[in-house]
Amino acid sequence: MLQIFGTGQHWPNHFATEPKSKSEETMSDQVAILAELGVRPQSLRKNWKEARLYETSLANGEARVASGGALVVETGQHTGRSAKDKFTVRDATTENTVWWDNNASMTPEHFDVLLEDFKTHLAGQDIYAQELFGGADLDHRLPVTVINELAWHSLFIRHLLRVPTDAEYANFKSEFTIINCPTFRADPARHGTRSETVIAVNFAKRMVLIGGTSYAGETKKSVFTALNYYLPTQGVMPMHCSVNTSDKDDAAIFFGLSGTGKTTLSADASRILIGDDEHGWSENGLFNFEGGCYAKMIKLSAEAEPEIFATTKQWGTVLENVVMDPDTRELDLDDATLAENSRGAYPISAIPNASESGRCGQPKNLIMLTADAFGVMPPIAKLTPAQAMYHFLSGYTAKVAGTEKGVTEPTATFSTCFGGPFMPRHPSEYGNLLRDLIGKYDVDCWLVSTGWTGGPYGQGNRMPIKATRALLNAALDGSLNNVKFRKDDTFGFMVPEAVPGVDTKILNPRSTWADTAAYDKQAAKLADMFVANFAKFEPYVDETVRASAPKAKTPA
């Protein structure tokens, strides 16, 4: 028997005694991709289940146990994505399909050398392999093999992707491979990288190589990147969004950047959560790319996020860079000593009202969330399909003073498609596909501001969450379509004049400002920011989308 970290708990030695399930290979068997590459590891832990991976991560000294049973791990230097170290191989497959303004390139020759060095690195090691699905849609899911050096990384991705049934394992044929070796160090001169860290994407070989970082989110986002590249060719829209539905089959899509309330507003106890981060939209309806959640932990509270908070006390949750008392094993979620981006990974089944299938019907509503710190956006506005494409390509929100060094007033932030770093294709491809789907399925589109009212950040107040929920509920149940609307002078979208249960004054942002001239100036300033940001997309969209731009100009 093996005693772990003085916890008093004893765990059976599965390496020697536990019989293998139908999905697990013997030590002498190979994952197909490893056989093709000619890699012969010391041992191969294929499709190990959660308990074995949990136990092994402790035995290997990779993790510690928190009170309640979560695994606590530290990722060292990298506590978030290494965006500047991500490269896409530029070859005949990608030359005319990848958005090179947004994706750094790597030569096929550099990738081949990198792959050979990864193979050498893996030889003779104990490695882990998971065969999983990216996507819940049975017609459009991507079978993925993920090869890891670390047991907790294998547990993480087993939480995050969708685990096949035994019958599906029997016929599993991988179509994409991710090899993650945190102890590998890239050589910029030899591999064409920027540093010792590398995320190399090769769409022709259908492979991603990750080295020099222990941050597990790189693996998750590599799957998202692959789906963002392959699915549009099938007429399927990949989206960085949350989705929920109800027993009335009235699914809703929630787009929003960090700080806009996407997770909070989509996690409605009265509705069924399909997923909180990555989804596809196909002829079959909406579907979750994942089988789990990867939630931010910093300053998480039981009062504000009870369902997510409960996962920190759950056996098997993987907590990255969360501070823990070494004696009591109690967590301090407010402590950012290790990272502001502390994270928790857990299966979606940990959320009480989550969908097991990860699928639902066609959406009835599409919501784009923005935290407008300038205080000029209304709490809700209705968008035409062309306006929805304009705001989707814009991906607007705002940073507030104090969030970054040197930020002393609200700063506009535009992240195209609400997920620009993971978009290998040109944004117009995603925007046109989204607009076509909105039209085909007659989806109502809404822009919701969870930002400031009565003035900008520092002068006004945050939009009341009660009002936001009331407006969202009215949109989702269809009653908002029955109220009277006015056209916004600056942005051109339609704004409700009165909604039951909501203070009429906040529906007209200008009326909430003590100085209306100051409002006009601020609105014109934001409008000009939109126009300047959208200039790069104008050659790729039609006149109806260009006409959706704000019309105001900054006063002299």
Of 46, 191, 240, 399, the active-site residue reads 240
Find where tokens 């994270």 sit: 343
What's phi and psi for 185, nearest 5 deg? -120, 120
Tell which residue, 82, 79, 81, 60, has the closest CA to residue 71.
60
What's the first-to-final CA gap in the chain, in angstroms? 78
Of 276, 277, 372, 444, the active-site residue reads 277
| 277 labelled catalytic | yes
Of 221, 271, 359, 364, the active-site residue reads 221
Amino acid at 455: G
Interatomic CA distance for residues 410 and 399, integer angstroms:
6
Amino acid at 361: G
Interatomic CA distance for residues 537 and 388, integer angstroms:
14
| 262 labelled catalytic | yes
Is the CB of residue 339 less than 8 Å from the CB of residue 79? yes
Is the CB of residue 134 less than 8 Å from the CB of residue 145? no
Interatomic CA distance for residues 74 and 81, integer angstroms:
14
Of 94, 219, 263, 317, the active-site residue reads 263
| 86 labelled catalytic | no
Is the CB of residue 59 less than 8 Å from the CB of residue 152? no
Give 345's contacts (C-beta < 8 A, 6+ positions apart). 156, 159, 160, 216, 292, 293, 294, 317, 318, 320
Which is it for the CA torsion 202, 208, 211, 213, positive or negative? positive
Of 14, 46, 64, 81, the active-site residue reads 81
Q: Which 3 state secondary structure label does DSSP give 485?
A: strand
Q: What DSSP string describes 38-68? A: T---SEEEET--HHHHHHHHHHTTS-EEPTT
Is the CB of residue 382 less than 8 Å from the CB of residue 471? no
Of 14, 45, 262, 435, the active-site residue reads 262
| 258 labelled catalytic | yes
Is the CB of residue 286 less than 8 Å from the CB of residue 361? yes
Of 14, 46, 271, 343, the active-site residue reads 343
Residues taking part in catalysis? 81, 221, 240, 258, 262-263, 277, 343
